[in-house]
Structure 1
Amino acid sequence: MESHFERIAYHYWAPFGLHKPFDASLILNIYHNELLKEDIFSQQKIVMLEISQYLERYLWLNFDPEKSTKEHIMSIVVMINEKYRERISAWQCIVERPDFFPEFFYNLLSLAYNTDESQLNFIERSAIAAFDDVINFSRFFNPLLHASNLITYSTLSSLIKSEIGDLFCQLMTMLKFYSRFEIDEITGEPLTTSQVLRHYKHITGLQKAAFMYFRESMKEFCLLNVSAIDSRKALLKQFGSMSNDDLYKFAEYLHLVKKLERSDSIPLGKQFLSEAVTLHCERRVNQLQQLNEQPLYPTEKMIWDENLVPYDEYNGHDVLPLNKLNLQFLTLHDYLLRNFNLFQMESTYEIRKDIEDTVFRMKPWIHESAKDQIIWGGWARMALPLQSFQFVEVSKPLVGEKSPAVVRADVSVNVPIRKDIRTEWEDLRKHDVCFLLKCRPKISVDGKYDTRKPFKDQIDVIYVRGCEIEGMLDSSGNVIEEYAAYEKKPHLTGDQRTFRVWLDENQYRLDLENDPEQSIDQIYHSFNLLVRRDPRTNNFKAVLSTIRQLLNTECVVPDWIHDIILGYGDAHSAHYKHMNNVVASLDFCDTFISYKHLLASFPSQKIVTSNDDPSLHPPPYRLTFKELEPQHNVDLSQRDTSIFVESYVVPSRGPYPHVEPRKNAILFTPAQIEAIKSGMQPGLTMVVGPPGAGKTDVAVQIISNIYHNWPEQKTLVVTHSNQALNQLFEKIMALDVDERHLLRLGHGEEALETEKDFSRYGRVNYVLKTRLELLNEVEKLQQSLEVPGDVAYTCETAGHFFLYQVFARWEKFESDVLIMSRNSSPDPSIIVKKFPFTKYFDDAPQPLFKGISFSEDWNIAQGCWRYIRRIFTQLEEFRSFELLRSGRDRTDYLLVKEAKIIAMTCTHAALRRKELVELGFRYDNILMEEAAQILEVETFVPLLLQNPQDGRNRLKRWIMIGDHHQLPPVVQNLAFQKYSNMEQSLFARFVRLGVPHVLLDRQDFIHNFYSEILFPLVYQFIFIALSLDEYRTMNAGFVFNYQFIDVPDFNGIGEETPNPYFYQNLGEAEYAVALFTYMRILGYPHDKISIITTYNGQASLLRDVVQRRCAENPLIGVPHKISTVDKYQGQQNDYIILSLVRTKNIGHIRDVRRLIVALSRARLGLYVLGRAELYRNCFELAPAFQRLYKHPLKLLLIPDEPFPSSRKVLEAVPPAQSLEIQDTIHMCRFVHELYAKNVDQLKISYKKHMKDYFEARQVRLFFFIFLTEAAEAAKTEEEKGVAEPAVDDNMEVDITFESMDFELQDPAKLGK
């Protein structure tokens, strides 16, 4: 079948084939005989035809409105729908040839008009709910919906009550929810509490009407209070007792049915009338109260409900009862509620995967004699059989609530003997989430489970309840404090451990309401398994709690961004040029390297200075943008757009070289300067930049400029990953930002490539250490001034010393100098004689004063005074740390008062929002890196990490930096990803809405294969390549710096799928590891090489092959990273080996965003392993692969060329020096022989490297000991702990050099 389509494509439309003339009968034949059989479309054949460019190169290219048949039109529709299903660009070919599109669409509508109505049911039922969640539709759709009584008819239908009607019931529930959403349908404003309560006034009016017109049949309805009659149950009871005539008249009074003439009979039944009136009169459900009474943990019903949480087999065609993330939202409540529901469903999907995997590993078997017991035939790292469960506390509900305030219980398990697993269980931290399960197996002892078959068919999970760890109990039954010192923690004996847990109060109430006497014991005392999850992916409960807190809070987002977040209003309204508080004059600090750089940064604008001599204008500069100043009654074409430039001198900070400000050394491009300028202005700034375009450098410069222009403001830095946060911090530290104002929240700071600790406690230790150093400086100053007493004892005594001794001397000196300066030619020696702190600066570069120029010496004296005054200014700031004694108080004070630049990941922001708000955390600016990789709700939460002031949000700037052309946020479930559009980031949505953004269009530091391969895909602009020396040379041992390597079948096998969606290719794995080994033999550093792939299965296989081939050989080692493309996003390395894996179908690399990430991870060398014929036809990938295919598809090597290479780019290689590799076996044998020939030289190089390594490590060890001792000296007595024993790093071990093993391996033993 595959060769059949390839043959047709080759003859008619394939880009590489010999094309025959257009044949309309071919389209007719393909449509009826291939695509459509028995009125059902063949999905597999549709996929194959679409990949072959059937739409782009045949259907649309030959479309003629006058001659094209129904089959031609429908074939185009099928191909476009398939592109939408795959979520790839569907309209590109039509945009390139748009002339016939109006006629095509008209012909399509004509076909649809003639279609049988029954075929439109699918479209109608999916569209109805979609119409009601967008305000532009709902204000017109809702009156039609209510007039048609669609909800009433659906509620009474037999479908909704049948077993197969579950999906229909859930869809109607969604429709009913949005048809009565708390919003004014005309204005679009959310309803206030008083407006929602208008219902009571409405019911009171109905009671009066009932008393007047239906007194006999509605007597009870007239006299009871509102809350007793407005529930659904009470209304149905009331209307059930009325006659059909009275009920119709009552419905007629409510204008729900048409008025009847006297002779007309009642056309509607009593059940319909009762339902219609009840729907109109019943109390509107309080959405917030309903949410607050909802459990946060999923139960067994939700986990295995495939309508709510589909499995991976979602095909993109079915309708699901799920919310969608569109471009627009009704209100902020609707925005948060949709994200809450989808995040909960996605978390449930991940929990289900973990539970099924864990329970399969535990192998529960039916007990032969005791029906209530289970035999566990296996084991799992993440689960233990439950020994006992006991309630400890069920407290009374708080006032106004239904659920208990607290539900606590003790659960006991026997921990394993293996030390590592035992430690993992004992290290369960406070607030970690676990799950309690009751499993009922269906298989007897020694039965085998098949993970390929459905889980539910093999094991019944009767109950699932979530719980949150409070702590582990000691032998006395008390909770062990999590942060207790190691020596104070009790030593537990035996294997049994008991954990105290919090249960979900709302779930407990619901279980109690189901059956007060039986349900609690039946559920909670029947659990037989405790399951934990990986802490890195187990934060769903905290995030859901945060979203629920936001829903319960009066969410106050800045006025200037409110409408844009909801998707309405002018998309340009938050741009700085449209803001009322725009700043016309900005200090760009060290942004510009020179005056020439400044001129080049504004090529289209006039630069005005006070002096035309460039030598008189050294940086830094203060720029005034005339276009941002008010220009009243001036025509737009006549407005002044010039820039006035002022140069100024940075005041001296002292006579020591180390106090000189650190300066930026990057020559920013005009686009980058515009991004920096926009980021300094109030409002929303969006920066889009491809890989290597300097996004991080722009972010760092914006932060630095805001820090210097507005030192009183705080900036919150948020990223998607810890790695991006660390990169930002490392670059911020290189600029002129005071270290004491930097703070890093969350985990990951240990990966910073610096010896400094920027965590909370690390910053506190830094402050305490700096305080001691400054007090030593005070003591030195005291001694130089010969002042008696212990003035350097505390910050307070130092302050008194400054005021009465130091400042007094400076004032006298300043007064004397000012008097002398009135002379026409003041004597410079006066400064030297009268300066009171000369002795203190004896260790500064001498002479301190030149004695030549009075003004120059006076500037030096002022610089010295600034140095002294800065010492006492810092001590005054540090004084609070003397008064606060506990570490927690100090860290909180540091966060709230001291830090100016606070960095965290978006996940940490969502986890810690409540804590930060309670501390009174405040900030003025937000900068988000990797914004296109962050989920909508995780982008929104950082906006609200502070309480509003006077009902307004104090946020002034929001800078978002990212690239929506790269991979979106990770969403594991395909249904949520595709159907609900959950992978949409707020950054990408803003771009689609037309929010202005700055595009970084030039970059000097980029390799030529980026501009040749990558950027023609989506980036249509010029890049300047080869600016660095390392980009001007070729890679040692390779003829080309980048190459696509065609890898044929290995032992007759291409791709394999041992498990669903677990793709592997042993041939590519062996080839990749052999290529890595070849590079190591030539001398490439192992940490400069990474191997990435497009599938988890291949990554697992690669790790196995590396472990077998070279991991234990110290001469070769392992690559820096073996990862998937998705996980490697945001990281780079010098040399990348990319394995594409697939040989039968292109797979998800067809997503251009994934391809961009895959091809942009390398700085100097990229080698792609794949099947060339597979990617030749793909329309979306053609711009990249056509350029890759320009080089030979067989790897060309230069084995005798050592690393590094001196061969220049484009320098020809004689054919005699190169070697062509044919396939995987050839590559493995060649590398084996090369290794054997070079092993002696490798040993010599290795020993030299290890000698240098141990010497460098010794230096680092001494430095670490010094820092540790300094930190300990800065601590108070109660903060000092027990020191860890020192490790002897000089101890050498014997090294065994192993031979390389390249024997062929059995694929069944690798990566499974």
Structure 2
Amino acid sequence: MTKVYGTGTYDFKRHRVAEYPLADKPLESKPGSNLPSSITLSEIQHDRLTKIAEESWIKTGGEMPEKPFDPEVVKEIYATELKVVSGRKPVPLQRVMVLEVSQYLENYLWPNFDPETATFEHVMSMILMINEKFRENVAAWICFHDNEDLFKKFLQKVLRLKEGRDLTIAEKTNYLVFMINAFQSLEDAVVNETVLSLAGLQSWHSLSYGRFQMELCLQPDLIKKWKRLSKKWAAEAMSKGEQFDPSSSPEANFVRSLIEEFVEVLDHGVFSDEGDDTAGFQLVDDSSVLYCERFMEFLIDMLNQLPTRRYLRPLVADIAVVAKCRLSVLYKHEKGKLFAQLVDLLQFYEKFEIKDHDGTQLTDDEALQFHYDRFMAFQLLAFKKIPKLRDVALANIGSVHKSSDLRRRLSALSLEDLRDVVCSKLKLVSRNDPWADNKDFLTEVVVSSFEKQQSQKEAINALPLYPNEQIMWDESVIPSINYSGEGCLALPKLNLQFLTLHDYLLRNFNLFRLESTYEIREDIQEAVPHLLAHIDNEGDTAFRGWSRMAVPINGFKIAQVKQPNIGEEKPSSVTAEVTFSIKSYRTQIRSEWNSLKEHDVLFLLCIRPSFEPLGAEEADKATVPQRLGLQYVRGCEVIEIRDEEGNLMNDFSGKVKRDEWKPPKGEMRTVTVALDAAQYHIDVTDIAEKGAEDVYGTFNVLMRRKPKENNFKAILESIRDLMNEYCIVPEWLHNVFLGYGNPSAAQWPNMPNLLKTVDFKDTFLDANHLSESFPDYEVSFVNSDGGEVLDPRPPFRITLPKTLKGNANALSGNKISEINPADNADMVDVSPKEKLIVEAYTPPDPGPYPQDQPKQNSVKFTPTQVGAIISGIQPGLTMVVGPPGTGKTDTAVQILNVLYHNCPSQRTLIITHSNQALNDLFEKIMERDVPARYLLRLGQGEQELATDLDFSRQGRVNAMLVRRL
């Protein structure tokens, strides 16, 4: 067993975690590389590389050393310090860190880069330094912006780096990591132009002829584009005096050559052909495993962004990468667990429910119809040209579209017949593919193409919200040690672009679920050891100690399992009753357990310690669950809690009136909890099909968590509910939200259905204030009849023009103005000002008494704040940014006030980052002309409001009942 490190205090930088435990023995270091993981300034100053840097490129007194550039220095540094011959790590991390501190890239490699004379070592050194900048999360491309043309030539040099040269597996990995970083930097215009050409339509030159025909048939609109681009490519070749050979360009072959190189490593590089792998690890090449994992990360990145997915997904399908990976030895090997998870993630994105060429998300019905149409085409082909599959052609789709059914039917075909079906008739892979003689591979290709896939909605609804013991200690997704950036994880990335809104939500769902799992794991590892579990004389688990956050269970029983909803397999709900005693706790801890209320999340644990305590050596080798004796973990949600006499405690639903609340009786507590129906269905299925142990008869510990850290279930449930809806984001926000299009398209002047005339109520204190707020317009005050008003008084209604002239403080779209306002200070604007029609009207008389007068605004808003108010009340996206004390809260309150009076039938949802911020907004809204009956404050922070009114749900209902009386 491997030793697990880092199970101590919680690290808030938990995204920096790694998938592998520390090596038992340190790797042999090169001369000068005996640096610890954290390098001190003294060690850097006395390092050999620092002395070379001082002689060659470190600036002293603002000037570079007089020593000229020497390519041999680059070669020597690469050969002695950067090149890795063996071992899992593709780069000596500490040596690269020393070079990065000395600004090796900025001061030596890049200033002296010449695309005509640059050596292989020079280019690879630049690749390693760029990768190091990405690993350290610092800006990697800034130094290249001063010479963009030369940088494009550098990228072209990188693309041709492998020509006529065999790279080591470490160099291949570093090269691949560079390409991953480049494709993750599409927001940089210089990088974007070069790398996107590798994922363009020209890459289809490397498709097999059958796949190329099939793709053009599926997308007939691309035929004209293909012909037009072919003429363009031919003309460019003729202008250079070259023969037009599209298959020889890097854009056509780059990705395919990378994939073929990966398949070669997967087949012959991971495992040695010599010897017997009796232990399961000795013959595995760790560096090749890392390369395979990194390549899966590369392909996943290609398929989870629309600009690269559009033309590369057919290429990935043409080579059948997923099928080859699933049939590889590494996929089923113990050291290939992370690789297998990455392959599954790649398969998910390859089959993602989206139209690749326009980015439209498929609904469940559309995805199902697409599957039926595809399978019916296969049946028609089988009926006409494949007599041995006549039974498949005549069967109904529901009886043959499962994986097991398809495999059984395809087993009737010989290898030659199956090859003819897959390569010639279906054109799924090329006949020249080296794997085309493998019957299992051909079967896997057909099955993966035509089997019924579980819909994304079904998959997410079948996923348990609570973590269990299996995922909790899975080192490949929730590692225990700090992440150095040298490997990858089976986790989705939060890019600047997403395929669909569902994709965005799903990535956040998975990441937040794993983040909360890490926190829960830390809480379990902290609470369980204090219980001092042991085996008593009767062979049962007993506890000698006590824990503040965990208590032994006296009884557990399943109370009710309801029938599944229509179309689902899992029960609609599963409830259970848990009984425990708080007798051994002091008063403060008793009150904490007595404070459990509805919707609190608890965890049920099964602890089975070993008969004899583990020795020091055994404890080091054992996993955390083995050391704790932890067998099972299941989550649940509190429905209600009762005392020893059965009285309901902490009920906020109104079942028990507040004046009837009594202190809890006795020391026994019974909690009714809702179990995770999806997890319960999985457990019961395992009991029925695999003869697994009944998990729900083994629980002996109930664990709680701190309330402030225990809201993960509600968040996950909200994200899942959003994924079950289709129209949750306005059309105008959709593309901007996913990272496409121009952000300025979501601004209010570009929106339909604008409010033409807006009643600004008390926004303007007087007519002069209004005129000052629109300095670029000639303000004209009129009455309701259209006549001119000489002495206008607020309130005012303003007829807004389609486009308001911006002021110097506002940005247009996402472009920053390059014009300095000071340069134009002496210029006189002689153009006539546009008229702004303002109607001054008399509001209805509220009544004769002072208390009847509505509360008025006393803040004199600046022109910039008025512009924010106008933008906020119109459809579209508005962001108000400013330092503290600049009136952001007052502006937001005025937006809400004006919005309420202009659109009284609409509901406005306010979300803030804290209760204090929300209460501040709420209290200021109450001071405006907004009736209290229209205000509702959700959450526990309502109790902190400085008001005698009750704005909770129950308080608002009571207020409405009082009005009726």
The two structures share one fold, judged by TM-score above 0.5:
yes
| Count of aligned pairs between the two proteins | 760
Residue 305 of structure 1 pairs with residue 474 of structure 2: yes
Q: Secondary structure at the match of 2:598?
A: coil
Cα 1:522/1:327, change in 2 over 3 Å: same
Q: Aligned to 1:579, which of 727, 748, 751? A: 751
Q: Deviations over 1:332-357 (max 9, x none)?
A: 33333333222222222222122222
What is the match of residue 167 of structure 2? 116
Residue 539 of structure 1 pairs with residue 702 of structure 2: no
Q: Secondary structure at the match of 1:665?
A: coil
How does 1:189-588 map onto structure 2 within 5 Å?
A: 189-192=360-363, 193-194=365-366, 196-215=368-387, 217-218=388-389, 220-251=391-422, 252-257=424-429, 268-364=437-533, 366-367=534-535, 369=537, 371-376=539-544, 378-415=545-582, 416-441=584-609, 444=612, 455-456=624-625, 458-475=627-644, 482-483=651-652, 484-485=656-657, 488=660, 494-516=666-688, 522-588=694-760
Residue 623 of structure 1 pairs with residue 794 of structure 2: no
Cα 1:641/1:316, change in 2 over 3 Å: farther
Distance 2:557 2:619 in 1: 35
Distance 1:526 1:747 in 2: 35
Cα 1:646/1:52, change in 2 over 3 Å: farther
| Contact 2:549–2:703 under 8 Å retained in 1 | yes
Distance 2:62 2:746 in 1: 54
Q: Secondary structure at the match of 1:643?
A: strand
| Contact 2:382–2:393 under 8 Å retained in 1 | yes
Cα 1:660/1:63, change in 2 over 3 Å: farther
Cα 1:267/1:196, change in 2 over 3 Å: closer
Q: Secondary structure at the match of 2:910?
A: strand
Q: Secondary structure at the match of 1:687?
A: coil
Q: Secondary structure at the match of 2:591?
A: helix
Paired AA for residue 664 in structure 1: N
| Contact 1:474–1:492 under 8 Å retained in 2 | yes
Residue 176 of structure 1 pairs with residue 347 of structure 2: yes
Q: Secondary structure at the match of 1:330?
A: coil
How does 1:779-798 map onto structure 2 within 5 Å?
A: none
What is the match of residue 669 of structure 1? 862
| Contact 2:535–2:609 under 8 Å retained in 1 | no
Cα 1:453/1:163, change in 2 over 3 Å: closer
Measure how far apart 1:59 and its partner are.
6.2
Cα 1:115/1:732, change in 2 over 3 Å: farther
| Contact 1:626–1:644 under 8 Å retained in 2 | no
Distance 1:712 1:394 in 2: 42
Distance 1:229 1:654 in 2: 77
Q: Aligned to 1:21, which of 57, 65, 70? A: 65
What is the match of residue 252 of structure 2? none
Residue 165 of structure 1 pairs with residue 332 of structure 2: no
Q: Deviations over 1:473-517 (max 9, x none)?
A: 455768668242467567765533232222222222222222328
Paired AA for residue 2 in structure 1: L
What is the match of residue 242 of structure 2? none
Measure how far apart 1:532 and its partner are.
1.2
Measure how far apart 1:518 and its partner are.
8.3
Q: Secondary structure at the match of 2:491?
A: coil
| Contact 1:626–1:642 under 8 Å retained in 2 | no
Measure how far apart 1:233 and its partner are.
0.8
Measure how far apart 1:722 and its partner are.
0.9
Paired AA for residue 139 in structure 2: S
Residue 87 of structure 1 pairs with residue 255 of structure 2: no
Distance 1:224 1:68 in 2: 64
Paired AA for residue 523 in structure 2: D
Measure how far apart 1:45 and its partner are.
5.2
Q: Aligned to 2:881, which of 655, 675, 688? A: 688
Cα 1:714/1:207, change in 2 over 3 Å: closer
Measure how far apart 1:27 and its partner are.
6.9
After TM superposition, the score normalised by the length of structure 1 is 0.52
Residue 2 of structure 1 pairs with residue 29 of structure 2: no
Measure how far apart 1:47 and its partner are.
4.5
Measure how far apart 1:383 and its partner are.
0.5
Q: Deviations over 1:267-300 (max 9, x none)?
A: 5132222222222221222222232222222111
Cα 1:95/1:729, change in 2 over 3 Å: farther
Paired AA for residue 552 in structure 2: P
Paired AA for residue 229 in structure 1: V
Cα 1:763/1:375, change in 2 over 3 Å: closer
Measure how far apart 1:382 and its partner are.
1.1
Distance 2:746 2:375 in 1: 44
Q: Secondary structure at the match of 1:186?
A: coil
Cα 1:78/1:752, change in 2 over 3 Å: farther
Q: Secondary structure at the match of 1:467?
A: strand
Higher mean C-alpha deviation, range 508-517 or range 88-97: 88-97
After TM superposition, the score normalised by the length of structure 2 is 0.70
Paired AA for residue 722 in structure 1: N
Paired AA for residue 554 in structure 2: Q
| Contact 2:300–2:346 under 8 Å retained in 1 | yes
| Contact 1:391–1:409 under 8 Å retained in 2 | yes
| Contact 1:595–1:614 under 8 Å retained in 2 | no
Cα 1:708/1:203, change in 2 over 3 Å: closer
Paired AA for residue 753 in structure 2: N
What is the match of residue 356 of structure 2? 185
Paired AA for residue 348 in structure 1: T
What is the match of residue 811 of structure 2? none
Measure how far apart 1:189 and its partner are.
2.2
Q: Secondary structure at the match of 2:463?
A: coil
Q: Aligned to 1:716, which of 904, 909, 917? A: 909
When the two chains are superposed, the root-mean-square deviation of aligned CA atoms in Å is 4.1
Distance 1:602 1:717 in 2: 29
Identity of aligned residues (%): 41
Cα 1:690/1:443, change in 2 over 3 Å: farther
Q: Secondary structure at the match of 1:703?
A: helix
Distance 1:208 1:73 in 2: 54
Cα 1:553/1:49, change in 2 over 3 Å: same
Q: Secondary structure at the match of 1:429?
A: coil
Distance 2:106 2:718 in 1: 47
Distance 1:390 1:610 in 2: 75
Measure how far apart 1:764 and its partner are.
5.3
Distance 2:440 2:661 in 1: 68
Cα 1:408/1:655, change in 2 over 3 Å: closer
Distance 2:833 2:143 in 1: 43
Cα 1:440/1:617, change in 2 over 3 Å: same
| Contact 2:762–2:857 under 8 Å retained in 1 | yes
Q: Deviations over 1:873-908 (max 9, x none)?
A: xxxxx33xx3xxxxxxxxxxxxxxxxxxxxxxxxxx
What is the match of residue 930 of structure 2? 737
Distance 2:449 2:875 in 1: 48
Q: Deviations over 1:1150-1178 (max 9, x none)?
A: xxxxxxxxxxxxxxxxxxxxxxxxxxxxx
Measure how far apart 1:435 and its partner are.
1.2
Distance 1:330 1:61 in 2: 39
